[in-house]
Structures are given as structure tokens and as C-alpha cells.
Amino acid sequence: MTGAEREQQDCAFHPQHAIRIALVFLLDRLARSVPRLASDSVLVSLARSMSGYETQSPDTSRVSEETQFAIYETMQPWQKLQVVARLHQLANRLVRIDIRERHPDASDAEIRMRVAARRLDRTTMIQVYRWDPREHGC
């Protein structure tokens, strides 16, 4: 692996990590707000009936995932969108925190460029923002 490839890998933001953290947090808050989960949840029943069922993430227990599905079934569509919006906000905050820790003296403008460099390819960054992630980092 070349130095540039290592740097790109270091700069890569892995949203699944942020989403997993946020889901655990939101699941806990939702579970506290839902007085009683429906025991005959369609998704829970489906999950139980599937042979060889594996959870969506290896670090999530089957019981936790079934609880999560049951909670999602009780939610209105607008509540689900609200969860997605909160996850997006959390992911953005985590990226900014990481950049601030790596570059404590960076200005707000520089942080915006580094955030964009994590989401956009190098060619787009150069053409649109005149910022080369290989030169400046991300």
C-alpha cells in the first residue's frame, strides 16, 4: 500500500460505524418511549421463522435486532425520517470532530474543505473547490 493509499484510507469516513452507534442510542431512547412492543410483530415473526437467520451486523444480538424491528414497526413514517435525519446529523458531527482532532488549528473554511474531501472524489474537489486532497489531506 502506497503512502497516498494509506492516507486515503485514514481519511475515509466509515458511516456504518456512526450509524451503528447512533442506532444503539436511538433504539435505547425509542424503547423507553414505547410502553409495550407488539409481541406478534410481523418482522420479529419473520426473523424467527427464517432458517439460518443472521443479524444484519455481527456485533448485534438477535434479540436486539428483533427489538429494533418491533420498534420500527410501531413508528410512523415521519418518525422514521426523523431517525434518519438525526443519524445524518450525527455522522456529520463525527466527521467534523475527527477532522478537528487531526487538525486543531484548521479554520472553519478548511474544515469544510476537509469534510467535502471525504465525500467527493479528488477530481471533483479540484474542479469545484480547487482543493487537492493529496496536497492538503482530508
CB 49 within 8 A of CB 89: no
Burial readout 68-100 (b: 16 or more C-beta within 10 A, e: otherwise): bbbbeeeeeeeeeeebeeebeebbeebbeeebe
Quick check: pTM over 0.75?
no
Residue at 19: amino acid letter? I
Q: Domain boundaries in the chain?
A: 13-75
Q: What is the pLDDT along the chain (138 residues), one digit of tens a residue?
A: 555 555 555 555 555 556 666 666 665 555 555 555 444 455 555 545 554 667 888 888 888 888 888 888 899 999 999 999 999 999 989 999 999 999 999 999 999 999 999 989 999 999 999 999 999 877
